[in-house]
Amino acid sequence: MREQILNLIKKIFSQAGYRTEPSYEFDLIAEKGMEQIYAKFIDFPDKSDIIDLVNNVNNLDGVPLIISTSYSSSETRKLAEEHNISMWSRDEFETQIGKALLAGLEGKTTEITFARKETEASDFVPFMDFMATTEPEKVDIVEPNEPVEIRLQTLPINIDRSDAIAISKRQIKNPEILKIRFIPLWKYRYSIDIKKQYRSKDVHLSGDGVGEINALTGDPSNLSIRDFDLCDKIIIHNEEYVVEKPEITKEEAETMVMQQIMDRHSKVVQFSDVEGQAIIYEYKTFRPTEEDISLSFELIHAPVWEIKGHNGFFEVNAFNGDEVDTPLDDDTEFV
């Protein structure tokens, strides 16, 4: 997928009259006249990515640009703006792709502009200065408007309320944030590596995988979290929130997952015998048992913005900005 995205980025700049070339430090450098763009694609950009780019472009004369298919936190965007780093989040990237493709069909060129402020060399802040942040203190007695520290295994909140509202406007009218929900998920890992024997023939069954089960509904999770690091605590600022309790027990989740794994890794093998002038074929199914499967679980959470509009409810994954297109519990009604 990354290669296809880089090809789209190249198309955007080529359609605007830029000459493009690949780069080791960046994904692409685009040049037109005296203007240079240093473009880098990052799935989920955060402050550390801004820091790295600031250090890389400090001595270069051009426009640093981060392109993403997700949404960044307001703190990340603010830091980028302070250091004259342009950012295309998913919405802007989609717009630029559409403009380039349409212009290509019409035989026209596009224009790409970047808002830049004047800076001096003294404005550069090196890496270590960004890291000089203070750890928030734990709050024991919480007033309504004070930050709340929640201790649980969860993905971070990268999408703030303003981003969530903007995303929800695609589907609902006059959106209003109700709360942020922490959805419980049973995350599992499994592996199989066994040999079964039949008629002197070895049949190898093997495989491994990771997945999540929604601990409210028992359905496979659609929140796309399996490859990311979790936090063991999170700070909530001036937001109503709820940490949902699992409705599905670990034992129930294990039963569901075990059945799926056994089905997925079953194998049908053909055997043949010769009897006189005839060849007799036999088909036998080999299926792993529960004892053959190594399976582990942990309870984790995914943050989701719950939003209400005049025409229904809407939920946004607070980690990556994806629309939650299926109900996360049995009571949610989607537009």
Residue-wise pLDDT for 222-234, tens only, equals 655 555 678 888 8
- The mean pLDDT of 290-315, rounded to a whole number, is 90
Mean pLDDT of 82-97: 88
| Under 8 Å between Cβ of 61 and 116 | no
pLDDT of 116 over the 70 cut: no
Quote the percentage of the chain above a pLDDT of 70: 84
Residue 335 located in a structural domain: no
Measured CA to CA, the distance from residue 251 to residue 243 in angstroms comes to: 21
Give domain status of residue 136, yes or no.
no
Q: Evaluate whether residue 201 is within a structural domain.
A: yes
Residue 57 lies in a domain: yes
Task: Clarify whether residues 100 and 157 are in a common domain.
Answer: no
**How are beta strands 86-88 and 63-67 bridged, if at all?**
parallel
Contact 294, 192 (CB under 8 A): yes
Residue that wins the pLDDT comparison between 190 and 271:
190
Torsion, CA 55, CA 14, CA 95, CA 162, rounded to 10: 0
Residue 305 has a pLDDT of 92
Q: Which of 126-130, 181-185, 212-216 has the lowest mean pLDDT?
A: 126-130
Q: Which CATH number characterizes residue 114's domain?
A: 3.40.1350.10
Is residue 334 predicted with pLDDT exceeding 50? Answer: no
Same domain, 228 and 276: yes
pLDDT at 226: 53
Q: Alpha carbon 28 to chain centroid distance?
A: 23
Residues above pLDDT 90, as percent of the chain: 22
Is 101 in the same domain as 183? no
Residue-number span of the structural domain to which 175 is assigned: 148-317
- Integer Cα distance of 157 and 230 in angstroms: 11
> 68 in a domain, yes or no?
yes
The per-residue pLDDT for 296 is 92
Last residue in a domain, options 71, 99, 129: 129
The answer to whether residues 4 and 93 touch, using CB atoms and an 8 Å cutoff, is no
Predicted confidence at residue 320, as pLDDT, reads 85
Total domains, the chain: 2
* Contact (Cβ atoms closer than 8 angstroms) between residue 136 and residue 227: no
Answer whether residue 143 is part of any domain.
no
**Confidence check: pLDDT of 167 > 80:** yes
Could you tell me if 44 and 193 lie in one domain? no
User: Does one domain contain both 86 and 154?
Assistant: no
Question: Which position has the higher pLDDT, 332 or 128?
Answer: 332
Distance from C-alpha of 258 to C-alpha of 256, rounded to nearest angstrom: 6
Show the DSSP H helices in the chain as ranges: 2-15, 47-57, 74-82, 90-106, 127-130, 161-168, 250-264
Q: How does residue 48 score in pLDDT terms, banded at 50, 70 and 90?
A: confident
Q: Comparing C-alpha atoms, which of 186, 180, 141, 177 is closest to residue 319?
A: 180
144 or 154: which leads in pLDDT: 154
Give the β-pairing of 293-309 and 241-243: unpaired
Cα separations in angstroms, 32 against 127, 181, 253, 325: 30, 47, 57, 42
pTM score of the predicted model: 0.54
Pairing of strands 293-309, 278-286: unpaired
Closest Cα partner for 72 from 13, 137, 159, 8?
159
Same domain assignment for residues 172 and 296:
yes
d(C-alpha 255, C-alpha 275), whole Å: 44
> Mind listing the pLDDT tens digit for each residue in 318-330?
988 888 865 555 5
In terms of phi and psi (left: phi > 0; alpha: psi -120 to 50; beta: otherwise), the region of 178 is: alpha
SS3 call for 306: strand
User: 154 and 70: one domain?
Assistant: no
Please tell me whether residues 189 and 302 are part of one structural domain: yes
The whole-angstrom distance between residue 151's C-alpha and the CA centroid of its chain comes to: 22
Whether residues 224 and 120 share a domain: the answer is no
Range of weakest confidence among 58-67, 141-150, 270-279: 141-150
Q: Are residues 113 and 152 in the same domain?
A: no
Tell the residue number behind the tokens 């001096």, with chain if given: 120
Q: Is 49 contained in some domain?
A: yes
Round to the nearest angstrom and report the end-to-end CA distance of the chain: 30
Residues 164 and 310 reside in one and the same domain: yes
| Residues 186, 254: Cα–Cα separation, whole Å | 9
Residue 86 lies in a domain: yes
- In a shared domain, residues 152 and 125: no
